[in-house]
């Protein structure tokens, strides 16, 4: 995976965007817990620093993360990975999660993170940058549309996990 650009100050004073580092795993996990609470999905939460660490910083990382830091505190994160479009015959950047603590929203952090990820996709020669949004999260939908995203009304996410995944794999 290509490295991210160096850290930069964005939005409100003293907010620094940078590539996540090993020391950020605990903070990222805390933000993931906050996101799960916001999305009312805590019943699905299994993340721990020990489970996340190898996937971001192990021998074969499968995802990357960016953080926004204010006064030494991580206040936002974005976790993303490379996917592939068969129609474009190009890789793409998939944003799994972006979360900004509520008290820091409206200060340009989310916009700066999306902009930086779009630039990363362009710099890597990727054909697209995409993510999902919950249909009830009107604020996020409006924000993404203002940023130029198209919410795809005809597409539905399909998912197989847990016991259903094991059952499908054993057919």
Q: pLDDT per residue over 122-148, tens digit each? A: 999 999 999 999 999 999 999 999 999
Asked whether residue 166 is assigned to any structural domain, the reply reads no
| Number of structural domains found in the chain | 1
Residue 26: per-residue pLDDT: 98
Active site residues: 144
Of all residues in the chain, the percent with pLDDT exceeding 70 is 92
- Asked whether residue 142 is assigned to any structural domain, the reply reads no
Averaged over 65-78, what is the pLDDT?
96
- Whether residue 89 lies inside any domain: the answer is yes
Is the residue at 2 inside a domain?
Answer: no
Residue-level pLDDT at 1:
52
Residue with tokens 């259903």: 164
On average, the pLDDT of the chain sits at: 93
Output Rg (C-alpha) for the chain, integer angstroms: 16
Asked if residue 2 has pLDDT above 50, the reply is no
Closest CA to 46 of 38, 55, 36: 36
Count the neighbouring beta carbons within 10 Å of the beta carbon of residue 61: 14
C-alpha distance from residue 34 to each of 77, 98, 100, 124, 164 (Å) = 11, 12, 10, 31, 27
Q: What is the pTM of this model?
A: 0.90
Domain range holding 124?
8-131
Residue 65 domain-assigned? yes
Q: Any idea what the CATH number is for the domain that residue 30 is in?
A: 3.40.630.30
At residue 58, the pLDDT reads 97
Q: b/e map of 121-152 (b: 16 or more CB within 10 Å)?
A: beeeebeebebebeeeeeeeeebbeeeebeee
For 75-107, write each residue's pLDDT tens digit.
999 999 999 999 999 999 999 999 999 999 999
Mean pLDDT of 38-60: 97
Total residues found in the chain within this entry: 171
Is the pLDDT reported for residue 9 higher than 80?
A: no
Residue 3 lies in a domain: no
Nearest to residue 132, comparing CAs of 91, 95, 90? Answer: 95
- Answer whether residue 3 shows pLDDT above 90: no
- Distance from C-alpha of 59 to C-alpha of 43, rounded to nearest angstrom: 30
Mean pLDDT of 98-123: 96
């Amino acid at each position: 995976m290509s490295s991210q650009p160096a850290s930069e100050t964005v939005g409100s004073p003293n907010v620094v965007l940078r590539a996540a580092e090993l020391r950020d795993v605990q903070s990222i996990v805390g933000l993931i817990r906050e996101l799960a609470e916001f999305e009312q999905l805590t019943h699905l939460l299994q993340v721990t620093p020990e489970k996340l660490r190898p996937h971001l910083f192990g021998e074969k990382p499968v995802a990357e993360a960016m953080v926004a830091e204010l006064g030494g505190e991580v206040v936002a994160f974005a976790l993303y990975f490379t996917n592939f479009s068969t129609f474009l015959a190009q890789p793409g950047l998939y944003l799994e999660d972006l979360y900004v603590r509520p008290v820091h929203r409206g200060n340009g952090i989310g916009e700066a993170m999306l902009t930086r990820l779009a630039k990363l996709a362009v710099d890597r020669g990727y054909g697209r940058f995409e993510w999902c949004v919950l249909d009830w999260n009107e604020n996020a939908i409006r924000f993404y549309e203002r940023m130029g995203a198209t919410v795809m009304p005809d597409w539905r996410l399909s998912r197989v996990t847990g016991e259903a995944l094991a059952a499908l794999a054993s057919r």
